[in-house]
Amino acid sequence: MTGLFITFEGPEGAGKSTQVTLLAEWLRARGLEAYTTREPGGTPLGREIRRLLLSQDMSAETEYLLYSADRAEHVRKVVLPALEEGKIVISDRHLDSSLAYQGYGRGLPLDWLRQVAAGAVGSLRPHRTILLDLPPEAGLARLEQHDRLEQEHLEFHQRVRGGYLQLARGEPARYLVVDATQSQQAVQAAIQQALLPMIEEL
């Protein structure tokens, strides 16, 4: 595998999709091939799964298995083939979302999540993960409409945020935590500065 796999994580309303787009534009301006994608919904099947996930009530276990099904398809059909072509793949969310939302948020055992993930994604791990961190109140206030997960109570979102920060502390070499209450430009500048050494090596 020769490409670079970069993931964005964080709560709703953190500005992930804007930052994914800005990062891809910056990389392309440097002559690099960047492919942007997302979970859930990075494949045609994944878009069907996303619709179910965001509209239907379901058990926490079912929810996790559907996110995993989306991820298994996404990794095999999109992420690995693009990495094998040497591209930089930037995904708006990946496995850490499940650890934060279904693990820390819903209380499913992290061990079980990781066992299922070993089958769903194999040994693939992001090279860098950018966590856009901000208080849930701030993120939720930025949204105009709320889907099923966004409607969860504030404590749920606080557990998700705490979970992300714990995951980041456990893997400081992979995670870059950026204060997402800053302006879009400041957030993007911090991301570019942190990624530059890795990009210059490509």
In the complex, which residues of this chain contact ligand TMP (CB under 6 A)?
12, 38-40, 67, 93, 97-98, 101-102, 149-150
Residue 20 vs 176, nearer CB to ligand TMP: 20
Nearest distance from residue 188's CB to ligand TMP, in Å?
18
Nearest distance from residue 14's CB to ligand TMP, in Å?
9
Residue 85 vs 171, nearer CB to ligand TMP: 171
Nearest distance from residue 135's CB to ligand TMP, in Å?
16
- Distance of alpha carbon 184 from its chain centroid, rounded? 18
Nearest distance from residue 120's CB to ligand TMP, in Å?
10
Query: Minimal CA–CA distance to 71: which of 88, 96, 107?
Result: 96
- Return the exposure string of 70-92: e unless at least 16 CB atoms fall within 10 Å of the residue's CB, then b: bbbbbbeebbbebbeeebbbbbb
Residue 156 vs 199, nearer CB to ligand TMP: 156
Nearest distance from residue 183's CB to ligand TMP, in Å?
21
Which one-letter DSSP state was computed for residue 105? I
Residue 32 vs 140, nearer CB to ligand TMP: 140
Query: Minimal CA–CA distance to 77: which of 66, 65, 95, 89?
Result: 89
The span from the CA of 107 to the CA of 102, in Å, is 6
Residue 12 vs 33, nearer CB to ligand TMP: 12
- Distance of alpha carbon 12 from its chain centroid, rounded? 11
| Burial (Cβ within 10 Å: 0-12, 13-18, ≥19) of residue 21 | middle
Residue indicated by tokens 């040994």: 123
